Structure 1
């Protein structure tokens, strides 16, 4: 097995993790904004 394929898979996993983190952050901001709109 070559290490190149493993590196590509690792990079893809890291990219997916970053995208997931961004999505979670955006969702949390949206929830906070909705709650603030309700209370304020």
Structure 2
């Protein structure tokens, strides 16, 4: 049972997009949570 690379990339892309949207929604407040992508 191997996960397709496109599925993994879509999952990461969706997660990154969700973070970006969340940052845009509260752009005047710096997120205090750690960023897993860095």
Interval of TM-score (by shorter of Structure 1 and Structure 2) = 0.5 to 0.7
Higher RCO structure (Cα 8 Å, ≥6 apart)? 2
The higher radius of gyration belongs to: 1
- The TM-score, its normalising length taken from structure 2, stands at 0.61
2:26 to 13, 16, 36: 36
Show structure 1 runs of 4+ deviating over 2 A. none
TM-score normalised by structure 1 residue count: 0.58
Aligned residues: 28
- Structure 1 gaps of 5+ residues are 1-10
Q: Kindly report the root-mean-square deviation, in angstroms, between the aligned alpha carbons of the 2 structures.
A: 1.9
Unaligned runs of 5+ in 2: 30-38
